Structure 1
């Protein structure tokens, strides 16, 4: 009995009691997190009583907010409001690495597969729960764009520069490389450049900045953060990349080279766009509560066209940020770049699937069309991989965007000791500048297991081993 009473109440428990799948359910679950001394059985009894007589709980310290929500009719659609029903059938979708994917991500993907605009979907082996579409979710829709299917950090990407410098250069110039990273990178949510330190790039002249006044008003923010990186899991790192054999397509000979790998996105510019158009989508597209974060815009509508342009601009802006960082560091190194590879996620593309044009959302998933190059990182102590896509249709031409989290940020902060993390980094010879416990390598899945689960999706071209990593050190979470 004690074990049962210690288990948290979930949405299905409340739905079984008769709670509606809308904001009421969210309020009830928030109350449950507090528990306030009640057992699970006692809480369920309270929920049942409240459902029958909400007026009896108006003065109750714990349940007052829920009783008030019922009194205000929060659970009822507004007059004239039509809820778009989900399809009863969950369309089949391919899951890669299913044994390592949490139930929350699977449930989110199932909901996405019930949308009336859904054509196909797939779940990558690094998948974990997010907002709307899970991280690692790939969703093809018919003429519809889902802002939360793209994500908050629009156009987030990986960029790799392979230098004409041997691996020994790292060990012989460790302190110099650290100074180069410190001098030429800037991290953290809200952080940017001012005055003469602002970067210049042709992306600022893009006509899409004139789409509407909302986008126009974001241009100054975009300029100030141009060439910077966010918080959370964003990084700039030096590492060693090993080519086991000659790669004729890249024109790189077998060997191990110094390389620079960067990961970040469209900064506050993209995040503001995501928030704005997600709210517009929710106002226009009324879905059942469990699907509300999958609200979509018709691509032929004015709002849909605006978001499409803004999303593409944010992607180009994210690319410009990486370009500036890589140019600065190459100049400081005095090195030639043998190859530059870049790929992005948190984006939507127009593609052909089963002979029809669809909108493919890749939220935390890497494009992996036939022969397309990409980078799949592990963690700061685990290798990353330079890959070529195989163009697997079941995966909608996609692969994972990394190892994926196995521990939430909160869980990592609470359960991991800084001393243990430091010892772990030392064991792997990692120099870490910044970073928080939430980004500890133990918080991530085993990248080798993730790669094994997607052998049908990509071929490995080279292996990248991180050596010196810079991340935000201010606890910011803009990722």
Structure 2
């Protein structure tokens, strides 16, 4: 028996072919018929795994953006078309079982099939780093103070103690927080967090740039002073995301899955480690929010009446076992986190009220609500084509000293339209609002100009 005989029987030349031929000849000498020889050889041929590929057709997703689009507004129409194009491609990923786009959705990235801001997907036994975003656990936190206070004085104090954008806090300063040090002490046991301890210390009690802010106002219902912060996990989360993405892409090397859609198998050792790392980064971010809030409360000598928070760039596992990835989408279902208060925060822009919503758990929205009022165009396009007007009826401040004009209210979708969509679609039950006094934002930093 020779190699041609094996090829005619369906065996492919390559690694191990010579060994198969040697076995065939031994069996032939032993008196086996060709049919029995080929049957035995097939038991020795390693089974090639089917290549992991995208679905040929997408699956349906909930669309809560379409009916908020003004057909006469070219920017809104273009924004909607891009969001739907990305979602159509995204819903071909084989791990995904459902998806939705929120009324504030906008594109995020040029690679087709990138999850939009305001996008939600449910994945089976998979965690997709790019689908919870690099700004891991970007979130909102609120403190309601017991007594009234001069809002200007409070904003002055907040501006003096907070820190936005690049730069670090002194380690001697943050190490006074014993809970922080205890949390960081657990990083060494996790391959995705080990080595990021320095980032966790240096970036504690700092906030981001761009659309991150510290917002001061009062509750519409009671008039109580309220402070809201918006930021993620800073350099710590960015480091975790980078490692998670690299592992996901490496593990799917050779597949036909685009790199930005790669995943970590959730029930693998690495998947369990990554999930545990996400929970630790979540704790860090919550700690970071309320360290800022409690320091302000201490400085102004005002007692805290209520505090709660919620993530909008994160992964949540629900009772059905699926992993729900929200990128710029706010959970609106009971028990989304161990410390779920039953309320979620939905900001719009620096000049508009922040919505406080009770959960609605809309099935078609996968139990999510918007995270704010997204953009209809890029920052560059907005600055090129529109006049950026700073609102005069609120106290607007920029940490860097230079206004970031791309963050003006006109850069965002109409707040009233998004808020109306939340109610119209039953995405959240608006129970109160924080009416604005003023905001501190990062502003323009030198590194942006260099870039």
Task: Give 2:247's match in structure 1, choosing from 256, 268, 280.
Answer: 280
Deviations 1:352-377 (A, max 9, x none): 2xxx3111111111010158210000
Which residue is 1:147 aligned to?
129
1:197 matched to 2:161: no
Deviations 1:36-92 (A, max 9, x none): xxxxxxxxxxxxxxxxxxxxxxxxxxxxxxxxxxxxxxxxxxxx9985211122111
Task: Give 1:405's match in structure 2, choosing from 375, 392, 396.
Answer: 375
Which residue is 2:414 aligned to?
446
Task: Give 1:239's match in structure 2, choosing from 217, 221, 240.
Answer: 217
Contact 2:105–2:374 (8 Å) recurs in 1: yes
Rate the CA distance shift 1:120–1:421 in 2: closer, same or farther, 3 A: same
TM-score by length of 2: 0.78
Larger Rg belongs to: 2
Residues 43-442 of structure 1: matches in 2 within 5 Å?
84-99=52-67, 100=69, 102-131=80-109, 132-166=114-148, 169-170=149-150, 174=152, 176-189=153-166, 191-199=167-175, 200-206=177-183, 208-212=186-190, 215-243=193-221, 255-286=222-253, 291-352=258-319, 356-370=320-334, 372-417=342-387, 420-422=388-390, 425-426=391-392, 428-434=393-399, 435-442=403-410
Contact 2:65–2:103 (8 Å) recurs in 1: yes
Q: Distance in 2 between matches of 1:118 and 1:139?
A: 7
Contact 2:332–2:360 (8 Å) recurs in 1: yes
Q: Distance in 2 between matches of 1:241 and 1:165?
A: 12
Rate the CA distance shift 1:221–1:121 in 2: closer, same or farther, 3 A: same
Rate the CA distance shift 1:413–1:290 in 2: closer, same or farther, 3 A: farther
Instruction: Tell me the CA shift for residue 147 of structure 1.
Output: 0.2
Rate the CA distance shift 1:360–1:201 in 2: closer, same or farther, 3 A: farther
Q: Distance in 2 between matches of 1:240 and 1:399?
A: 23
How many residues were matched structurally?
373
Unaligned runs of at least 5 residues, structure 2: 1-47, 70-78, 335-340
1:460 matched to 2:442: no
Q: Distance in 2 between matches of 1:107 and 1:290?
A: 17
Secondary structure of 2:406's partner? helix
Secondary structure of 1:391's partner? coil
Q: What value does the CA root-mean-square deviation take over the aligned residues?
A: 2.3
Contact 2:346–2:357 (8 Å) recurs in 1: yes
Secondary structure of 2:193's partner? helix
TM-score by length of 1: 0.73
